[in-house]
Chains A and B, each alone.
Chain A
Amino acid sequence: MRLPIYMDHAATTPCDPRVVEAMLPYFTEKFGNPGSRNHAFGWEAEEGVETARRQVADLLGADRKEIVFTSGATESNNIAIKGAAYMYARAGAGQSGRGHIISCAIEHKAVLDPCKRLAKEGFEVTFLDPGADGVITRAMVEGAMRPDTILVSLMWANNEIGTINEVPEIGALCHEREVVFHTDATQWAGKMPVDVDADNIDLLSMSGHKIYGPKGVGVLYVRRRKPRVRLQALVDGGGQERNFRSGTLNVTGIVGMGKACEIARAEMDADRERLLKLRKKLEDRVTAALDVVQINGHAEKRLPHLTNISFGFVEGEGLMMACKDIAMSSGSACTSASLEPSYVLKGLGVGDELAHSSLRLSLGRWTTDEEVEFAGAKIIEGVTKLRKLSPLYDMHKEGIDISKIEWAAH
């Protein structure tokens, strides 16, 4: 076993060597611009891109023509949300009452911030609060729908806690009401099955580097029929990608993205089953050994490879320092640039201290049983060490209710 161990696959994944191999010729030999329609170099590059487009479409149950390559899920989300809002706006720029958008308070910033920008530009946005289990249901969306709702944007699975929203059901609702439905599937697609028709999706964002592909490439799926979704482009230029995204194509990245999708499609079922076992083993191990441990998010409606655990009376960054051989994330304020604890965990309404005490572990294609054993043991050791230092754990042991103490917030 090599140290450190990587357990942060929800942040990024290593490239699969098969992906790298597929990409290599496109750097040196097949370096052409797919926009060069008049020579072999261009044709060769175009062929690579079109193969990738088919590989992505096959993963999503989509048509090749519905796949738009972007620089990543952040760009895909921006094009989808702003592009749809501008296209379906009920009033022109500079006016109010341009339309209503529904999203959720625990979305990724790449969804929240485009929505907030739109709110400043005359759109109205409802950010749904999930329940304590983190799941957004069809009923919640239905309750927020208005006659002027033009767009619903909800992630398929949450990046911090792995909870799964009722996407097919919400998609069906949107289709009944003729509202455009976008889902940020960055943490879902390539790990879990997608069928854009059966799942009622109009727009879907995904990223290459979360699925063992390269960084700097992503996909936006744009439905072409029943209904045909139209978007206003954000980047103007050469008109590539059916005008949705101008700019010379990132051929190497796109080829890698395609290959990553092909591998994901073939290996997804086996990976999923294996990782679920490993995740359960890790969760069982720490919950059996330690008291006051909470697994965040819905018990079942969660991604198989991701777990977010709060260890009472222990601070997340301090705990990561004790587990320095394991690469993972925490919702602790100390680990964020803003010095604010995770807004996702706060958004569940279960108390800020839970966020400060949380670790996110996300397993991946090459995570082994031995690594999970090691991580479990290290975390238990770290929590035990830090609880010996924790005044809060003492108080807990003495039967003092910490929530009853008047803490001076600083």
Chain B
Amino acid sequence: MAYSQKVVDHYENPRNVGNFGTGEQVKKRTDIGVGLVGAPECGDVMQLQIKVDESTGKIEDARFKCFGCGSAIASSSLATEWLKGKTLDEGMAIRNTEIVEELSLPPVKIHCSVLAEDAIKAAIADYQAKHGAKHGAKHGAEPGAKHGSEKA
């Protein structure tokens, strides 16, 4: 299958790779929300971290790491680009279909965009949970996220 130019570009020059600290470190920081979605046995895992300006409520920075195919990497890379400068509500409004359109993903790769949307929602929900807020987390990601919580 041929990849679109945009997928190749994100794959070869992924934007905003990394994190704002180890899992333990970011857990303690109230300005950071973390989304970890997917599963290794399904072949893709996305980790998305957002850094929120607590005074304005805007996402000032975002970082990702991804275990997955080129389309999964491109979807999460694109998500970080889109999130920067957005409010939490605007971030919550990002739909996987927009990612599909932007990256020209074929039908078999739609699940990559769904995972990216899940990662965004999980990261925002995690931030909101740290602030005791309930609003906005309509989709999939209850506080304390069902994704990626460590077993006792």
Contacts and interface: CB of A to CB of B under 8 A. Distances in A.
Interface of A: 313-318, 321, 332-334, 339, 341, 351-353, 356, 388-395, 398, 400, 402, 404-410
Question: Closest 10 interchain pairs by CB?
Answer: A407-B39, A352-B41, A391-B47, A317-B69, A391-B65, A356-B43, A353-B40, A334-B69, A321-B70, A390-B67
A394 B148 contact: no
11 contacts: A315-B68, A333-B42, A334-B71, A352-B43, A356-B43, A389-B65, A398-B23, A402-B40, A406-B151, A407-B45, A409-B41
A350 to B, nearest CB: 12
A339 B14 CA distance: 24
Contact of B67 (A341, A351, A391): A391
Nearest to A330: B69
Nearest to A394: B65
Contacts of B149: 405-406
A391 B36 contact: yes
B126 to A, nearest CB: 14
B101 interface: no
A408 B145 CA distance: 10
Interface of B: 3, 11, 14, 17, 19, 22-23, 36-47, 65-73, 108, 111, 114-115, 118, 146-151
B67 A392 contact: yes
B147 A314 contact: no
A345 to B, nearest CB: 12
Nearest to B40: A353
Contacts of A392: 40, 45, 67
A410 B151 contact: no
A353 B68 CA distance: 11
A290 B38 CA distance: 25
A410 B39 contact: yes
Most chain A Cβ neighbours within 10 Å, of B37, B68, B114:
B68
A75 B46 CA distance: 43
A404 B151 CA distance: 6
A334 B67 contact: no
A317 to B, nearest CB: 4
B95 to A, nearest CB: 17
A353 B69 contact: no
Contacts of B41: 351-353, 356, 407, 409
B93 to A, nearest CB: 22
